[in-house]
Structures are given as C-alpha cells and as structure tokens.
Amino acid sequence: MPSALSSTVEGLYLAHHSWLTGWLRRRLGCPQSAADLAQDTYVRLLQAREAPQLIEPRAFLTTVAKRVLCNHFRRQELERAYLEALAQVPKQVAPSEEDKALIFDTLLALDRLLDGLPALVKRAFLLAQVDGLGQGEIARELGISLATVKRYLHKAALRCYFAL
Amino acid sequence: MNSTFSAQIAEQAVQWLIESQSADFDQHQALQHWLQADSEHQRAWAHIQQVNQRLRGVTAPVVHATLQAPPSPARRRALKVLLLAGVASAAGLGLQQHNPLPGLMADYRSPVGQRRRLTLDDGSQLHLNTRSAADVRFDGQQRRVRLQEGELLLEVQNDPRPLRLATAQGELRLESGRFDVRQFDGFSLVSVFSGSASVAGTPLLAGHQARFAVGGWEAIAPLDPNRAAWVDGMLVVSQMRLGDFLAELGRYRLGQLGCSESVAELRISGSYPLADSERILEMLEVTLPVKVRRFTRYWVSLEAASTG
C-alpha cells in the first residue's frame, strides 16, 4: 500500500536523516554529495514495492545507502571514461552538448542492466545491438562458436530489455 | 510507458529477436504469426525495438570505451535497478523515426557486405546487393517484386504475366530486360540496361537511367554502364569525389567510413574488388595523398597525409 510505505519512509527520514547524511559524508568527504545521496536513498525506499521492516532502522538504511554509494562511485567512473571517450571522437561526428547528457543516461542505464554479466556476454551484446554486427561476425571477433554467441545474446537481451 | 511483461513472453520475444538476427533466418511467417497471436507479443516486440533504437543512437566506439573502461577499486557490484525503458524517449535522443520492424518481414535479405543471387519461378534472376531486402509474389496472373530496402538487379525473363516492381515511390512495370533499381531516401534510381521500364504508361528506354519519384520520372540521363558492376563484386568509378566514393564503399562495410573535408574533393577512378574493402583503403593510401585513421575497427576516417 503506497500510503503505508510513504509514511514509513517519512518516519525514517525524520528520525534518521541527519545521521544518514553524516554517515555518507564520512565516506564521501563532500557534504554536497552526501546530502544528494541521502536524498537518493530515501527516493529509492519510496520506489520499493514493500514498506521496509523497521526492527533495525539504521542497519537497514545503511544497506540501502551502501547501494546508492556504489552506484554513485560507478557513475563517477563511467563519467570519466565517457568524457575520455568523447575526447577521442572527431568533431564532425561528436554529439551535441544536449545529446551528450542523454547518451550518458543511456550508457548509465545500460551499464547497470548489464552489470554482473560476464565480460564476453556483455561484449557480444554490445557488438550485436550497438555496432549492428551479425552473429557470425561476433563469433569470429570473440573467437567463440555461433551457438555460444546466441546463448550470450539471449542472456544479455533478457537482462537488458526485460531486466530478467 | 508500461514496460512490464510476463517472463514467458519476454523469453519468447528474446528468442525471436536472436533468431531474426541470425544470418540464415527464414521464419518470417512464423514470426508474423507469433506477433499476430497476441497483442502482448507485439508490445514486447515493440519494446525491444524501441530500446534498440536508443542503443543505435549511441556512437558505438563511445559505448565500448565507456562501458569497458578498466574498473577502479571503488567499483563494486551495482544493482540492476534501473529499467532501461522510459528513461528518455527515442525522440528526445534526436534519433530518426524508423519503421518499427524495418525490413524484417522481407522474403529475401542480404546482409551488409554480401550479395545474393536468386532464380525466380519464371527463370528471372534477382540479385540483391549489400544490405538489401525484397519480397517476391508470383501467382497465375502476375509477377510482383517489392524492393524493401537497398538495391537489386533484375534480369527479367519473357512471360505472359507482367512483372511489377514496387519501390517506396510506387510501382514500375518491367518488360523483359535487365534493370538495376536502388532505393534512396525520397526516390528510387532506375537504370535500364535492356528492355524498358514504365511508370503509369511512360517508358524509360534501354540505355537510360532516371529517378523514380512520386510524380514519375525525373532527371533522365544516359545510363552509367558501371552501375551494375556490383553484381560481379566490383565497384567501378570514374572521376568520383572521394567523399562520394567512401559513402559508396561504406555500404559494403560495417561501421562508419568517412573522410575529412580537406580530402573529400579529391577525385578517384578505377575498378575496386568489393570483397576486400580493407585493401581498397590501403590502395587509396598509395594512390592519393591521404592517410587512413582508425579509431576502432569499425570506425575509419581518411585524412590528409601529412607532407614531409
């Protein structure tokens, strides 16, 4: 029930907000980011399907905040790699400033979805759906059999299109 | 947008996606049946196409460089929380609108860099050039061919049934002869080597080429005899701008092929075997003052060779 959920999150917010912000600040060393990530933590709780159990509220908040923190670090890492990649792109094909931000959102989402898949599975998927390579070409490129390419693509596609 | 699907339908849709992308896919009708069987199937399929459209909007080398950068120690396993769907619309990314199922339902299809040759029921020969697709429907009364995308060459046999060739602009009637038809944005280019092709009763005679636009024939000109060299695996050009040459060559290759403005106006003539476009690029480095620059295997640009 959304109302029960939001009132629980509100309770957590009121009781533990400054503690959580402090916890994050110690790990980030940056008050501005800590406030943002504390916010993100509550947003994530609000997006959850069920009301959180409140036996150990701080332990629970810490678990969620750790995930938010991981995503934050990963995002910074991707951002750096993205800017480096863009610097290599010749001017005439470089995306506009506006598109750069939107493309980064896509990359971020893609990275999260493909996270945890073996490197070759990821690579096969990107070659197929981003580069538009045929399955035979992917097999040659990665030095694996066609059947394996299909299995990899299947696995990555379920994840990427349907989060399964 | 609702992007929740039953696991079973998701599984089937992914199965179809992987199959339809395999080189020897010939289950077009079965895929059509599956799509028509349930609106949920169509929704799942459209969802995949939308996500793919988004993925294609991102320059491939940037994706690889970003997502496959070496991880830093701070990296830990992140959550797969975000659904890719609905983060930003395809329109928002400035992507062009495509048919949701581009060319997928064609009877015959040739992938990038490959050609196909087919003998039709009446003995006519149909050649498909790189990245091309066509439907063929013959019955007791008529012979119909539809060019879905790309380019075809038809060697039409004499037959009491008329042969009608449809492009995005409308229908051509072909008398027995040899024809090259290529689909461009907004028009198709028709070259008549022998026989004649007519649009609404107006013929284009052998030895001519013209644009077929919605209004009929345009820009009628003498035939470029090298137009059909691709059937023999050759690209034959005479005094062509390098920029145009690379665009032409790029049709036969995966990835991006282009050049800087400073060399785009250089002229090039010769016969080039399409089977090995890498070799053509090497030859260009010898014959023209250009240097091939590779950002990745699939992203190649020609630039002025530095003097001295």
The pLDDT-based confidence of A52 (bands split at 50, 70, 90) is: low
Does A98 map to a domain?
Answer: no
Q: Which of B155, B164, B174, B94 is nearest to B135 (CA)?
A: B164
The answer to whether residue A36 sits within a structural domain is yes
Q: What pLDDT is attached to residue B71?
A: 45
Measure A54 CA to nearest chain B CA, in Å. 22
List, for residues A113-128, the tens digit of each pLDDT value. 887 788 899 889 988 8
Is the Cβ pair A106, B58 closer than 8 Å? yes
Mean pLDDT computed over B263-291: 88
Contact list in B for residue A110 (CB cut-off 8 A) is: 55, 63, 67, 84
Q: Are B194 and B174 in contact (CB under 8 A)?
A: no
In chain B, % of residues over pLDDT 70:
83
Say if CB B277 and CB B283 are below 8 A apart.
Answer: no
Give backbone dihedrals phi and psi of B247, rounded to 5 degrees, phi first. -60, -40
Alpha-carbon torsion A101, A106, A108, A111, what sign? negative
For residue B197, what pLDDT band results from cuts at 50, 70 and 90?
Answer: very high
B43 C-beta neighbours (distance < 10 Å), count:
15
**C-beta atoms of B75 and A85 within 8 A:** no
Q: What's the pTM value of the predicted model, to 2 decimals?
A: 0.48
Are B126 and B118 within 8 A, CB to CB?
Answer: yes
Name the more confident of B164 and B47: B164
In a domain, A41, yes or no: yes
Report chain B residues whose CB lies below 8 A from the CB of A118. Answer: none
DSSP letter string, A57-88: HHHHHHHHHHHHHHHHHHHHHHHHHHHHHHHH
| Per-residue burial over A113-141, b = 16 or more CB atoms within 10 Å of its CB, e = otherwise | bbbebeeebbbbbbbbbbbbbbbebbbee
Q: Which residue has the higher pLDDT, A70 or B288?
A: B288
Domains, chain B, ordered by start: 1-56+86-105 (no CATH), 108-227 (2.60.120.1440), 233-304 (3.55.50.30)
Q: Is the pLDDT of residue B101 over 50?
A: no
The partner residue sitting opposite A126, judged by closest CB among B67, B69, B261, is: B67
- Residue A61 belongs to a domain: yes
Q: Do A158 and B11 touch (CB under 8 A)?
A: yes
B86: pLDDT strictly greater than 80 = no
> Across the interface, do B254 and A133 touch by the CB < 8 Å criterion?
yes
Asked whether residue A142 is assigned to any structural domain, the reply reads no
Q: Give CA–CA dist B36/B16, Å, rounded.
A: 14
Question: 3-state DSSP call for residue B302?
Answer: strand
pLDDT of the residue at B245: 94
Tell me which residue has tokens 């003995």: B123
| Residue B165: pLDDT over 90 | yes
Nearest CB neighbour to A129, from listed B55, B77, B92? B55
- H helices of chain B, in order, are 7-20, 28-37, 39-56, 60-67, 242-250, 261-264, 277-287
Please write the tens of the pLDDT for every residue from B107-154: 787 877 888 888 988 899 999 999 888 888 888 888 999 998 899 999
Number of domains in chain A: 1
Length of chain B: 308
**In this prediction, does ipTM exceed 0.90?**
no
- Please indicate, yes or no, if residue A85 is contained in any of the structural domains: yes
Rg (CA), chain A: 20
Contact yes or no for B81 and A112 at CB 8 A: yes
User: Is the residue at A112 inside a domain?
Assistant: no
Q: Give the gap in angstroms from C-alpha B67 to the nearest C-alpha of chain A.
A: 6
Closest alpha carbon within chain B to A159? B80
Helix locations, chain A, DSSP H: 2-28, 31-47, 57-88, 97-114, 119-129, 135-142, 146-162
Q: What is the pLDDT of residues A64-108, one digit of tens each?
A: 888 788 778 778 778 888 887 777 766 666 777 777 777 787 788
Does the distance separating the beta carbons of A161 and B48 come in below 8 Å?
A: yes
The parent domain of residue A10 ranges over 2-92
Single-letter amino acid code for the residue at A59: A
Q: How confident is residue B81, by pLDDT bands cut at 50, 70 and 90?
A: very low
Token pair, residue B264, equals 């785009």
Mutate to test the interface with A, among B48, B49, B80 (most CBs of A within 10 A): B80
| Facing residue for A107 by CB, picked from B63, B74, B111 | B63
Query: Do A33 and A72 touch, CB atoms closer than 8 A?
Result: yes
Residue A143 inside a domain? The answer is no
Tokens of residue B234, six digits: 């050759």
- Lowest mean pLDDT across B82-91, B224-233, B286-295: B82-91
CA distances from B60 to A116, A132, A142, B3, B256 (A): 21, 9, 17, 25, 10
Q: Residues, chain A, total? A: 164
